[in-house]
């Protein structure tokens, strides 16, 4: 899997507009200021693949980036700081929920949370939803370069402790500036997008 070959394919305003025939999708979600676009660009090695705006919340569509073989990275609408009418926010939230609940190709959720303000209300909501859907969720504590190493590790350990009873939830440090955690995030995505479904039915090996 070569992340450098990832390219933008299409944007969807609703679930019905999502590309057909998808085999696997890993979706990126997070508050509007969590550094979602920067993370996608760092992971794929493309500085302008996902649009970075000085105004958080500009991403209003579900954006699909093709990897290969009908597999995608999906950039979900940011949530939080967008200065738009409430009716527009409500539509974003509705379409986001429809995608998360009904998109059969969705295999995992990357949740981005600013390490300086981890696990806000939206983050908790996404974690709870992933538990209900039995969908793996991997949290990137973004902007880790903003903290000293000791403080960043302390935050990581604190979040790990909070996630101890959340099956399928994992967390790591990440920085799109220093590339801290880049390979770990890529490894998680590869394991999701190219997982062999037969592994779910594999019989335990005898001792």
Q: How many CB atoms lie within 10 A of CB 56?
A: 19
Q: How many CB atoms lie within 10 A of CB 189?
A: 23
Look at residue 97 in the predicted model and tell me its pLDDT.
84
Cα–Cα distance for residue pair 202/165, rounded to 1 Å? 25
Q: What is the mean pLDDT of residues 44-70?
A: 74
Look at residue 33 in the predicted model and tell me its pLDDT.
82
Structure tokens at 50: 């996902």
Architecture of the structural domain at 3-194: 3-Layer(aba) Sandwich (3.40)
Cα–Cα distance for residue pair 190/19, rounded to 1 Å? 20
Cα–Cα distance for residue pair 88/165, rounded to 1 Å? 35
Look at residue 204 in the predicted model and tell me its pLDDT.
45
Look at residue 197 in the predicted model and tell me its pLDDT.
53
Q: What is the mean pLDDT of residues 46-69?
A: 72
Residues 6+ positions from 33 with CB-CB distance below 8 Å: 56, 78, 80, 81, 114
Q: What is the mean pLDDT of residues 101-124?
A: 94
In the predicted structure, residue 83 carries a pLDDT above the cut 70? no
Average pLDDT value over all residues in the chain: 86
Return the percentage of the chain with pLDDT > 70, whole number: 86
Residues 6+ positions from 16 with CB-CB distance below 8 Å: none
Structure tokens at 81: 């700081």
Cα–Cα distance for residue pair 171/67, rounded to 1 Å? 24
Lowest-confidence range among 18-32, 66-80, 190-204? 190-204
- Residue 93 and residue 10 in contact, taking contact as beta carbons nearer than 8 Å: no
| Residue-range domain boundaries for the chain | 3-194
In the predicted structure, residue 201 carries a pLDDT above the cut 60? no
Look at residue 2 in the predicted model and tell me its pLDDT.
79
Rounded to 5 degrees, what are φ and ψ at 28?
-105, 125
In the predicted structure, residue 146 carries a pLDDT above the cut 80? yes
Q: What is the mean pLDDT of residues 54-60?
A: 53
- Whether this prediction's pTM lies above 0.75 is answered by yes
In the predicted structure, residue 155 carries a pLDDT above the cut 90? yes
Q: How many CB atoms lie within 10 A of CB 79?
A: 24
């Amino acid at each position: 899997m070569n992340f450098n070959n990832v390219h933008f394919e299409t944007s969807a305003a609703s679930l019905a507009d999502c590309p057909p025939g998808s085999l696997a999708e890993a979706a990126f979600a997070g508050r509007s200021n969590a550094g979602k676009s920067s993370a996608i660009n760092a992971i794929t090695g493309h500085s302008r693949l996902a649009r970075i705006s000085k105004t958080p919340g500009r991403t209003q569509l579900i954006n699909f980036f093709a990897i290969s073989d009908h597999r995608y990275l999906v950039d979900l609408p940011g949530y939080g700081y967008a200065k738009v009418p409430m009716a527009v926010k409500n539509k974003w939230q509705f379409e986001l929920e429809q995608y998360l609940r009904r998109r059969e190709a969705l295999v995992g959720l990357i949740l981005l949370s600013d390490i300086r303000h981890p696990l806000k209300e939206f983050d908790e909501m996404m974690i709870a939803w992933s538990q209900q859907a039995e969908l793996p969720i991997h949290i990137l504590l973004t902007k880790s370069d903003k903290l000293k190493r000791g403080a960043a590790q302390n935050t990581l350990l604190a979040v790990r402790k909070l996630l101890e009873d959340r099956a399928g939830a994992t967390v790591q440090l990440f920085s799109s500036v220093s590339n801290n955690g880049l390979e770990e995030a890529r490894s998680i995505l590869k394991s999701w997008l190219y997982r062999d479904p037969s592994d779910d039915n594999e019989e335990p090996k005898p001792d």
